[in-house]
Amino acid sequence: MTSWSLRIGAVQMRSTDDLGANLAACTGLIDEAAAGGARLVVLPECFAFLGSREGDKLAVAEAVPGSGRIAGTLREAAARRGVWIVGGGMPEVVAGDAVRTYNTAVVVDPRGEIAASYRKIHLFDVDIPNGATLRESDATTRGDQLVVVDVEGAAVGLSICYDVRFPELYRALVKDRGAQVLLVPAAFTAHTGAAHWHLLLRARAVEDQAWVVAAAQWGKHNAKRESYGHTLVVDPWGTVTAERAAGDGVVFADLDEGSVARRRTQMPCLSHAVLWK
């Protein structure tokens, strides 16, 4: 079997509560990524909408799979450009729940079909020191399924933002589901990002000996919310190979199976790991 290689484009953007403007920005950045040779384009969490209050997103929530305005934009762009797109977190309708949505990452294949979706498992309910109080669970229902999808031979594990603080999720994606690439689309707050963003992403790469791709929101979205930025790619040795600190743009990187296999052979931590019950 031929080893895989995959050029990715991780998108950094600053979403607001203007759905149309956000989707237009996404389309332009997807085009930029495709023009740069990316086969997989990863959008950050909240790419389509980021309001002042958690409940604001209810107005734009869609069914997944579906062809609503958000999913339709991704499907059209993927088919037009012939690329894979991961929409890193969009509001998905919860059947029978009028006050909550799922925070869902959708995977669209180059034909424009939705190939998979992942509902964020860990919800961000925190009082940030010297910062905001955020309660994602006020308007979000947690998911309960791990998802790994095959993207041109690469086993890609899905997660969203706050998930990165829970290493057991990534160990399960790698040990149980065979992931070699871990996606962490995010809207990490400026305060927590400055303290922990690089540390957590590098740790997940090192302990799971996998590529980590983290597409991020950046800058001030409104009077209450500011994101850290620093979209980056980490290799299976824990080295940051590409990064963008601020501003809209695309971070490119060439991922390969050889790097994963080499690190896992040199230091076979995964084969030594004991999964406690």
| Domain-embedded: residue 274 | no
Confidence (pLDDT) at 221: 96
CA–CA gap between residue 40 and residue 251 (Å, rounded): 12
pLDDT of 175 above 70: yes
| Domain-embedded: residue 197 | yes
What is the percent of the chain with per-residue pLDDT over 90, rounded to a whole number? 88
CA–CA gap between residue 70 and residue 25 (Å, rounded): 12
Confidence (pLDDT) at 101: 97
| Full residue range of the structural domain in which residue 105 is found | 5-267
- Residues 54-76: tens digit of each pLDDT: 889 999 999 999 889 999 999 99
| Domain-embedded: residue 216 | yes
Confidence (pLDDT) at 273: 86
Residues 6+ apart with CB under 8 A from 175: 270, 273, 275
Name the burial class of residue 168, with classes exposed (0-12), middle (13-18) and buried (19+) by CB atoms within 10 angstroms of its CB. exposed
pTM: 0.96
Q: Name the residues annotated as catalytic.
A: 45, 120, 161
- The 3-state DSSP class for residue 128 equals coil
Task: Output the domain CATH number for residue 218.
Answer: 3.60.110.10
Q: What is the DSSP letter of 29?
A: H
- Residues 210-269: tens digit of each pLDDT: 999 999 999 999 998 999 999 999 999 999 999 999 999 999 999 999 999 999 999 999
- The 3-state DSSP class for residue 138 equals helix
Average pLDDT over residues 90-119: 97
| Domain-embedded: residue 276 | no
- Residues 71-98: tens digit of each pLDDT: 999 999 999 999 999 999 999 999 999 9
| Domain-embedded: residue 224 | yes
pLDDT of 157 above 60: yes
Confidence (pLDDT) at 177: 97
Question: Which amino acid would we find at residue 82?
Answer: G
Average pLDDT over residues 22-40: 98
Q: How many residues does the chain have?
A: 277
| Domain-embedded: residue 250 | yes
Torsion of CA 97, 161, 10, 20, to 10 degrees: 40
| Domain-embedded: residue 272 | no
| Domain-embedded: residue 26 | yes
What's the mean pLDDT when you consider all of the chain?
95
Average pLDDT over residues 86-114: 96
In the chain, how many domains are there?
1
